[in-house]
């Protein structure tokens, strides 16, 4: 179950504002706020990896090459 499914469940039952939690058997119980934070964390780490790749690529470019005026 992902955060969007939790959000859909909360919107279906208006009284469940902060009362929805997700139990992952053997691991723990997570609130919807924690799930949202996890989602943001994963998006951020993917973005950081892309930025690192871009920085590495830029460092391979030879900027000292002569260019016509």
Cα gap 17→10, rounded to integer Å? 6
Cα gap 26→58, rounded to integer Å? 45
The whole-number mean pLDDT for each consecutive block of 10 residues of the chain, a chain of 69 residues, reads: 62 60 64 80 93 94 82
pLDDT value of residue 56: 95
Closest CA to 32 of 23, 45, 42: 23
Instruction: Identify the DSSP state of 28.
Output: E
Kindly list the distances between the CA atom of residue 23 and the CA atoms of 10, 11, 33, in Å, as whole numbers in the listed order: 16, 19, 14
pLDDT value of residue 1: 47
């Amino acid at each position: 179950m992902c955060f969007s499914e939790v959000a859909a469940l909360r919107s279906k039952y208006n009284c469940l504002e902060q009362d929805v939690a997700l139990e992952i058997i053997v691991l723990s119980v997570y609130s919807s706020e924690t799930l949202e934070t996890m989602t943001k964390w994963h998006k951020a780490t993917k973005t950081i990896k892309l930025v690192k790749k871009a920085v590495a690529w830029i460092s391979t470019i030879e900027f000292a090459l002569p260019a016509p005026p």
